[in-house]
Structure 1
Amino acid sequence: MDTISLAVLDDHQVVITGLKNMLSGVPEITVAFADTNSKALIEFLEVIQTDVLLLDIQMPETSGIDLCKQIRKTHRKIKIIAFSSFGEPHYVKQMMRAGASGYLLKNADQETLVKAIRTVAADGEFIDETVKKLLLQESLSGSKRSVYEIPLTKREKEILKLIAEENTNQEIADKLFLSLRTVETHRFNLTQKLEAKNTASLVKEAIKRGIID
């Protein structure tokens, strides 16, 4: 069996270490790159193109969705697997539209991880079984949601209001007694749910949908 070269980008070093340990006993998969920095990944791919990229969809410098689009434009042979804690259908659809060949949840076991990598390396597509069930439920319920019906949690609405008031992430964290990381996660979720590219479009969409005044 041919060796599959793998690049890993995740914003948590502990996740990277765990992935390396899971794959250390799989001889046909070689981890050629693993880092928490998206710029380092881009620089690496300019020199060496791996067969597969395991890409966290939530990165601090840029969203995994935008990064996926960028890499697919410049390195079309690389197969990308979205790697995420989020299994909601709208995340999956956005990543697949961006050019990903697979979608894997971060709680996947070794067998599922290896299967996903092998499948996309062989030009196939792989969707985590849990995610498949969520997509099926959405399909069966006929939930082609109106763009105005995307549900936000109470906390997301609070943070959205503070964003609209031009508070920084740190200021929001201080006001709501949250960690900066928690605020960043909520902000990322909001941009994905409202399909916004930046703060201005996020606020514009929120007003358009009547979420904030």
Structure 2
Amino acid sequence: MQIKVAIVDDHSLIAEGVSNMLRYNAEMEIVAAYQDGKALLDSLPERMPDVVLLDINMPGIPGDELAALLKRQYPAIKIIALTSFDNIFYIKNMLQQKIDGYLLKYVSRDTLMEAIRIVYEGGTYLDETVSRQIKRDEEITKRQKEAGTLLTKREKEILQLIAEGHTSSEIAEKLFLSKRTVEHHRESVLAKLGCKKISLLIIKAKELGLLY
């Protein structure tokens, strides 16, 4: 039994290229290529695909909204995001829509076919670059939580004011503390975050999400 595949991408050259990659595979049948989400939805359920290869940035219905809609109305359809976006924001947003795979557009023919087979059989497939991005994001989130619990409320407050460019004297005046107390907190924050310079402290604090 062939796997029925639909392509949704507003770039006709991309859609045609993907179609050509899969056309001569006996396991797969290209149901259709659509330039937007509305065209796909209008064809359902008459032309029901098993797997949809979905671009994210499209006119009309955005990829994330289309994915969520398909999962609600046609939960049997498997969805693979096929996009040029490798930013963690897009990755997390699409995964929140319960898609089954995430691939970047420079993927090889063999990898694309493998991903389609895996999601069709009920699995999940993530591009290696995407997997690394997710792992990196998880590590950053973990460090943020650790740093957040490491600093006291007062230290976080002083860290924010330092990042805004205030001197110890100005911070002391704002928080009704002695300058000596502020400098003690400053040294404590530097030590806890493993920094020797204020410039490096601010960079690290931004990376850890400790500043707003």
Q: TM (normalized to structure 1)?
A: 0.64
Instruction: Report % sequence identity.
Output: 35
Q: Which amino acid aligns with 2:115?
A: A
Match of 2:136 in 1: 137
Shift of 1:25: 2.4
Is 1:105 the equivalent of 2:93?
no
Flag the 1:62–1:27 CA change in 2: closer, same or farther, 3 A.
Answer: same
* Aligned match of 1:175: none
RMSD over aligned Cα atoms: 1.8
Query: 1:22-61 to 2 correspondence within 5 Å?
Result: 22-61=21-60
Q: Secondary structure at 2:40's aligned position in 1?
A: helix
Residues 50, 77 of structure 2: 8 Å contact kept: yes
Per-residue deviation, 1:91: 1.0
Partner amino acid, structure 2, of 1:68 = A
Residues 33, 144 of structure 1: alpha-carbon distance in 2 compared, 3 angstrom cutoff: farther
Superposed displacement of residue 142, structure 1: 3.6
- Distance, in Å, in 1 between the alignment partners of 2:98 and 2:70 is 9
Distance apart, 1:30 and its partner CA: 0.5
Structure label with greater radius of gyration: 2
**After TM superposition, which residue ranges in structure 1, 4 or more long, deviate above 6 angstroms?**
143-146
The alpha-carbon distance between structure 1 residues 105 and 46, as it changes in their structure 2 partners (threshold 3 A), is same
Letter in 2 for 1:106: K
TM-score (norm 2): 0.65
Question: Counterpart of 1:167?
Answer: none
Q: Distance in 2 between matches of 1:76 and 1:24?
A: 25
Q: Which moved more, 1:60-69 or 1:41-50?
A: 41-50
Q: Which amino acid aligns with 2:40?
A: L
- Who is 2:80 aligned against? 81
d(CA) in 1 for partners of 2:83, 2:142:
23
Residue 81 of structure 2: SS of its match in structure 1?
Answer: strand
Asked if 1 retains the 8 angstrom alpha-carbon contact of 2:36 and 2:61, the reply is no
- Structure 1 residue 141: deviation in Å? 3.3
SS across alignment from 1:138: helix
Q: 1:26-79 CA distances to partner (integer Å, 9 max, x unpaired)?
A: 110100011213211001123122110011111111210001111111101000
